[in-house]
Amino acid sequence: MSTPYPHLLAPLDLGFTTLRNRVLMGSMHTGLEDRNRHFPRLAAYFAERARGGVGLIVTGGFAPNIAGWVSPLAGELSTRRAARAHRIIPQAVHDEGGKIALQILHAGRYGYHPFNVAPSRVKSPITPFAPSALTADGVERQIRAFVRCAELAREAGYDGVEIMGSEGYLINQFLVTHTNQRQDDWGGPYENRMRFPVEIVRRVRAAVGPDFIIIYRLSMLDLIPDGQTWDEVVMLAKAIEAAGATLINTGIGWHEARVPTIVTSVPRAAFAWVTQKMKAEVTLPLCTTNRINTPEVAEQILADGMADMVSMARPFLADAQFVNKAAAGQGNRINTCIACNQACLDHSFQLKTASCLVNPYACHETLMVKTPARRAKRIAVVGAGPAGLACATTLAERGHAVTLYDEADEIGGQFNLAKRVPGKEEFHETLRYFAHRLADTGVTVRLGTRMDADTLAAGGFDDIVLATGVTPRDPDIPGQAAQRACGKVKSYIEVLRGAPVGPRVAVVGAGGIGFDVSEFLVMGQPSPTLDRPTWEAEWGVTDPARQRGGVTRPHVTAPARQVTLLQRKAETVGKRLGKTSGWVHRASLKMKHVEMIGGVHYESIDARGLLISFGEKRERATLLEVDHIVLCAGQISDRSLQAPLRAAGCSVHLIGGADQAGELDAKRAIRQGTERALTL
Ligand code: NAP
Ligand code: SF4
């Protein structure tokens, strides 16, 4: 095959059926699973990924019964009526030549509701509801529910099921002694604890017949202190193979694990070695997963024989055409998932419909529709940050003649700062994607061009979109101006661009940028992405053959600087960061001994450092003796062009940070830029 990705695009023969390539779209909860009325949207979302060439899609998790709900009224498949409602989903995928399996997910003690059950009554640290311990009859009922769910999936037209045995959900809870303290046939020695998943797979196979895909998601690395040993995982894998599974997918880490497994700072393909280790033990095809986001990385894994398939979930939110683009030799036009979690997992945890920061159409295929413009117009977009890029390219795709201006010499705006932050190098990919998209859509790009209102107004544009972004807020601390003049006070922009910073630093403002800057400062410059061994040492990840669960004591390298991160709010520092990534940022700074202090007043700055006090009465005045003070005090909108353009009678639109600086983020910027472009 003449392609850079011959292994990725090779078919996989499963005996009774053949997958068209080695790409599995991994399970991902979108929020559209939970109500039947959303199934047409879910079907459209999957159909687009099937049209985009995915070999096998796995749905988000569906509970086999109420006890298995992840949250109240979560998606469930337990009746024929429900199966009938599902039919449009596999049908839509089949119409596009794809295959789809339904994931059966029983949350066990992770269920965020009072009806949750578990092998033993051991409350999880991530839900407030202690589970009821299952009786022996109760265990049988859960197994029967899995079997019934699989039968109904077949009846609904799915090509198979994925049995969710990892991430700390019910099946996983049976496997480790911390959560399974039973004394009966389902507890005690590992042979007993693993009976639960093996019985499920055996009975599902008996019920669905030989020509139905059964994927078993095997927790190969629990990443919790009392997790499974490697010998135990291998014993289970062999039993699952014997019980009739078709494929084994890799599961990494319980949700309560204190090791990040998917955020952007995790090195790409950081866990493929675990699947590779399993390759020596079973003959079933194995699928690997976690932080695989480009066809190059996926191809290398397969070429190296580390796995037979590659699972990617978020990359298909970012770009439904991932496989087709790779197959057409257009891999550099893929909109790459940057592993930020901001619009996908964070939305899921907030019970909002998932989408994607870099692709706001994801899960909104039927709501955001790009139609050709009724009249081609001349439109100026000022500002080539995320909002301006999304807007300009979408406008051009709709047929408008678009000119994009930016005073900088490169596109990207704030993304050019973000990409300098350790662990955020994926932002380079977004800029690469937009550079191609600008060229492909024929946007006229004028960089290094500061536009004034008179020139714009005289330009004869039908519409002018201001995506001029933000400027840093000045916290105006007494003494700040004098110390800024002599270089002791710096802005975050100067620091991220490489201005020299001494060994002791105070960071004013603990928003997303304060955290990023602190990370940048403790890592030292230049700060390349951590290689896998260094990253594993920092987070205490090891071979489960050496240490149960694959976790050991972290070996953290010393921080490059002593950093104090400050905010005025009395709440926990970093509380407002993303739900699924904030804890990683906090943990990572703690590991580097960053002192995080909330509830401060900034009294003054002088040559010695920053004087702070605490509380209403401004007590406990404390001098932070530091070499530099870095200002990360948020942003204000740059709308300087708006009033003169309106006065000149121009049709002006504000997007991104220029519209709203508070809670400015790239997710809102790209979505707003796209939405505005769809309406002009
Ligand atoms: P931000 O998140 O709004 O944080 C601003 C910080 O400055 C807050 O800690 C605030 O805390 C402080 N502050 C506000 N007014 C101040 C004043 N007058 N004097 C002193 N301190 C003041 O803004 P940002 O950090 O600039 O981030 C901008 C946007 O980029 C954020 O909305 C964020 O979503 C996005 N971003 C996200 C990430 C991420 O990891 N997800 C990373 C970077 C940026 P107090 O008012 O309590 O002092
Ligand atoms: Fe990837 Fe971020 Fe999009 Fe989620 S929101 S799919 S992590 S780019």
Q: Which residue, judged by its Cα, is nearest atom 8 of ligand 2?
A: 337
CA of 406 to the centre of ligand 1 (A): 24
Q: Which residue, judged by its Cα, is nearest atom 19 of ligand 1?
A: 475
- Structurally, at CATH architecture level, domain 378-471+636-679 sits in 3-Layer(aba) Sandwich (3.40)
Could you tell me if 568 and 498 are in contact, meaning their C-beta atoms sit under 8 angstroms apart? no
Cis peptide upstream of residue 40 (ω within 30 degrees of 0): no
Residue 509: which residues within 8 A CB-CB, separation 6 or more? 475, 566, 567, 631, 632, 633, 634
Distances (CA, A) of 625 to 441, 505, 523, 590: 53, 9, 21, 20
Determine the 3-state secondary structure of 26 from DSSP.
coil
Q: Best substitution site from 265, 335, 356, 425 to test ligand 2's pocket, by max atoms within 8 Å of Cβ?
A: 356
Instruction: Count Cβ atoms below 10 Å from residue 376 Cβ, excluding itself.
Output: 12
Query: Among residues 41, 160, 176, 166, which one has the least CA distance to residue 100?
Result: 160
Residue 302: which residues within 8 A CB-CB, separation 6 or more? 7, 8, 22, 308, 309, 310
d(CA 231, CA 190): 10
CB-defined site of ligand 1, < 6 Å: 473, 475, 508-514, 516, 567-569, 577-578, 632-635, 663-665
CA of 585, closest atom in ligand 1: 40
d(CA 240, CA 363): 34
Q: Is there a catalytic annotation at residue 169?
A: yes
Residue 510: which residues within 8 A CB-CB, separation 6 or more? 565, 566, 567, 573, 574, 596, 598, 632
Determine the 3-state secondary structure of 134 from DSSP.
coil
| Confidence band of 179 (pLDDT split at 50, 70, 90) | very high
Query: What is residue 249's predicted lDDT score, i.e. its pLDDT?
Result: 98
Report which DSSP code applies to 57. Answer: E
Average pLDDT over residues 217-245: 97
Asked if the model's pLDDT at residue 36 lies above 60, the reply is yes
Domain 12-349 coded CATH 3.40.50.300: no
Q: Best substitution site from 358, 364, 580 to test ligand 2's pocket, by max atoms within 8 Å of Cβ?
A: 358
Task: Starting from the CA of residue 419, give the closest ligand.
Answer: 1
CA of 645 to the centre of ligand 2 (A): 36
Query: What is residue 255's predicted lDDT score, i.e. its pLDDT?
Result: 94
Tell me the pLDDT tens digit for each residue of 402-461: 999 999 999 999 999 988 888 788 999 999 999 999 999 999 999 999 999 999 999 999
DSSP bridge partners of 56: 24
CA of 315 to the centre of ligand 2 (A): 7
Asked if the model's pLDDT at residue 524 lies above 80, the reply is no
Catalytic residue selected from 5, 110, 169, 216: 169
CA of 565 to the centre of ligand 1 (A): 12
| pTM over cut 0.75 | yes
Q: Which residue, judged by its Cα, is nearest atom 40 of ligand 1?
A: 512
CA of 505 to the centre of ligand 1 (A): 18
User: Residue 335 CA to chain centroid, in angstroms?
Assistant: 14
CA of 508 to the centre of ligand 1 (A): 10
d(CA 274, CA 268): 14
Q: Which residue, judged by its Cα, is nearest atom 42 of ligand 1?
A: 512
Query: What is residue 580's predicted lDDT score, i.e. its pLDDT?
Result: 84
Could you tell me if 65 and 143 are in contact, meaning their C-beta atoms sit under 8 angstroms apart? no
Query: What is residue 664's predicted lDDT score, i.e. its pLDDT?
Result: 54
Asked if the model's pLDDT at residue 528 lies above 70, the reply is no
Average pLDDT over residues 71-93: 96
Tell me the pLDDT tens digit for each residue of 260-293: 998 888 999 999 999 999 999 999 999 999 999 9
pLDDT above 90 covers what percent of the chain?
Answer: 91
Q: Which residue, judged by its Cα, is nearest atom 2 of ligand 1?
A: 511
Q: Best substitution site from 424, 568, 614 to test ligand 1's pocket, by max atoms within 8 Å of Cβ?
A: 568
Q: Give the CA angle between residues 441, 386, 467 to the nearest 5°.
A: 95
* Residue that wins the pLDDT comparison between 473 and 422: 473
Amino acid letter, 465: V
| Confidence band of 525 (pLDDT split at 50, 70, 90) | low
d(CA 179, CA 183): 12
Query: What is residue 37's predicted lDDT score, i.e. its pLDDT?
Result: 94
Mean pLDDT, all residues of the chain: 95
CA of 262, closest atom in ligand 2: 7
CB-defined site of ligand 2, < 6 Å: 314, 317-318, 337-344, 356-358
Report which DSSP code applies to 636. Answer: E
Largest CA distance in the chain: 83
Q: Which residue, judged by its Cα, is nearest atom 1 of ligand 2?
A: 337
CA of 355 to the centre of ligand 1 (A): 23
Tell me the pLDDT tens digit for each residue of 563-603: 999 999 999 999 988 888 889 899 999 999 999 999 999 99
Look up the CATH number of domain 474-525+560-633: 3.50.50.60
Determine the 3-state secondary structure of 22 from DSSP.
coil
Q: Best substitution site from 513, 586, 667, 670 to test ligand 1's pocket, by max atoms within 8 Å of Cβ?
A: 513
Query: What is residue 581's predicted lDDT score, i.e. its pLDDT?
Result: 85
Sequence ranges of the domains in the chain = 12-349, 378-471+636-679, 474-525+560-633
